[in-house]
Amino acid sequence: MRGFSLVWAGQLLSMIGSGTAWFAVTLWVWGESGSATLFALLTLLSLAPGLAVAPVAGVVVDRCGRRAAILVSDTVLAATSCTVLVLYLNGGLEVWHLYAIAVVEGVMESLHMVAYSALVPLLVPESGLTRANGMISLADPSSEILAPALGGVLLRTTDLSVVLALDLLTFGFAVVTLLAVRVPEPVRTAGRPDAEGGPAAGPRPWPALRADLAFGFLYIARRRGLWILLALFFVLNLSGAVSYALTTPLLMLRGGDDPAVLGAVLAVGGAGGVAGALAVSAVGARVGRIPLVLGGTAFGSAAGPLLMGVAQTPWLWAASAFAAGAALPAVNAAYQAVWQARVPARVQGRVFGARRLLAQSSLPLGLLVAGPVVDYVLTPLFEGGGAEMASGLLGEGRTGATALLLGLAGLAGLTAALLAAASPRLRRFDEPEREGAPTR
């Protein structure tokens, strides 16, 4: 774990630096435009293009190597931060510049995530995969806690240029630590790409590229345990996107627009994420990976958005946020470990690229539909007296509508987990394969 720990430390610091810069940039956009639509568009542009090119990113990872792909993505991301810094210092930074840069950063982040996921099994034995992925999961809640605090302090005492310069320094540290570790590349075998994962045959580059792009999707489709797991996470990502879009508005509506209450609840959620990541890193290897995925998903959905939808007091909001935050890194760590253990290293780039597109394509969908469904479908129903029973439990008007959709998102995640748990194939999927056992 020593080599992985060094790489992880560099990547963790870089992610916190990037989170701080992103927080500062989004505040700058809000200050320049004052538009919630433009603010949301920036988030969408940083997400959707990266998902669209994920299969291409997987091909690049398998063809060029994990470390090379991470180095390229980190270098381009550093260049985008440098571009923003130069434009800002020259007084020429405009909102549309950030939209273009968000697209580039989204694509590079996708390449980085696919390569990083495929890098871990090359540095860590299978018995340590859950622990390693738990350590990686620590990055998100750490960034959620540290980035707003650090970004807020720096913006109050300095300006955006200092935040961007700090981001560049963390990129440099990540590159140095990655170069300091020897990364073995998986053995490449010859043969048909749909059978052995080797280079595709054909005299022209397009047939080979086309076969590589299709390979990950075909690999998943032929393994029932993988596509059941992927379908579960498609629903979870949809539920998570709806929850992300609605939790803050609901807390503001129920909390009397008090930002202190909102900040406290979100901070508790971040603390839950840190606690969950530390717990799964310490003891996750002692729990079966599939049971951890299914149990964590059911618990997180029920205690997270489902409870948040009906909770009426700050203490329950905080408890719900902590539970959801703690469940997420445990589920993600076990989920990643299953894929890393079950997919051969030589094809993980292509398979993980296809997985990223299929499982996370529901994220932009959830972000796009949550607001309109509340505003134009559910709120008129609550205001028109068509939901009297629900109004008594959830609240009236927009508050009740927001709470209802948030609760339904949690119920969808819970139902998906229970349905997946009913599959004997998925429950046995993480058991060692017998020699000659069929793949379906």
Three-state SS letters, 169-225: HHHHHHHHHHHCCCCCCCCCCCCCCCCCCCCCCCCCHHHHHHHHHHHHHHHHHCCHH
Q: Does residue 139 surpass a pLDDT of 80?
A: no
DSSP state of 93: -
CATH class of 1-183: mainly alpha
pLDDT value for 387: 64
Answer yes or no: are the C-beta atoms of 133 and 120 closer than 8 Å: yes
Q: Which of 179-193, 281-295, 318-332 has the highest mean pLDDT?
A: 318-332
Average pLDDT score over residue span 28-37: 68
pLDDT value for 34: 62
Q: Which helix (H) or strand (E) holds 317?
A: helix 314-342
Q: Which residues, including other chains, have CB under 8 Å from residue 412's CB and lie 6 or more apart? A: 235, 238, 239, 301
The CA distances from residue 123 to 133, 147, 289, 352, in Å, are 12, 28, 19, 17
Task: Name which residue leads in pLDDT, 437 or 383.
Answer: 383
pLDDT, one tens digit per residue, over 337-348 is 999 988 998 899
Q: Give the confidence band of 383 by pLDDT, cuts at 50, 70, 90.
A: confident
User: Residue 165: how many CB atoms within 10 A of its CB?
Assistant: 15
- Alpha-carbon gap, residue 21 to 96, rounded angstroms: 17
- Alpha-carbon gap, residue 264 to 177, rounded angstroms: 35
Answer yes or no: are the C-beta atoms of 279 and 330 closer than 8 Å: yes
User: DSSP for 13-73?
Assistant: HHHHHHHHHHHHHHHHHHHHH--HHHHHHHHHHTTHHHHHTHHHHHHHHHHH-HHHHHHHH
Q: In the block, which residue shows the tokens 């029932």?
A: 224
pLDDT, one tens digit per residue, over 236-266 is 999 998 998 888 888 888 888 776 777 788 8
Q: Give the confidence band of 155 by pLDDT, cuts at 50, 70, 90.
A: confident
Q: Does residue 300 surpass a pLDDT of 80?
A: yes
DSSP-based three-state secondary structure for 312: coil
Start-end of H helices in 46-159 = 48-52, 54-64, 66-89, 95-123, 129-137, 139-157
**Six-digit token string for 3:** 């080599």
CATH 1.20.1250.20 intervals, the chain:
1-183, 218-431
The pTM is what? 0.82
Average pLDDT score over residue span 205-214: 76
Q: Does residue 193 surpass a pLDDT of 70?
A: no
Taking the alpha carbons at both ends of the chain, their separation in whole angstroms is 33
Task: Name which residue leads in pLDDT, 198 or 89.
Answer: 89
CATH for the 218-431 domain, from 2.40.10.220, 1.20.1250.20, 3.90.850.10, 2.60.40.1150? 1.20.1250.20
Rg (CA), the chain: 22
pLDDT value for 207: 63
Answer yes or no: are the C-beta atoms of 74 and 14 closer than 8 Å: yes
DSSP state of 374: I
Average pLDDT score over residue span 290-311: 93
Helices 95-123, 54-64: inter-axial angle, 10-degree rounding: 50
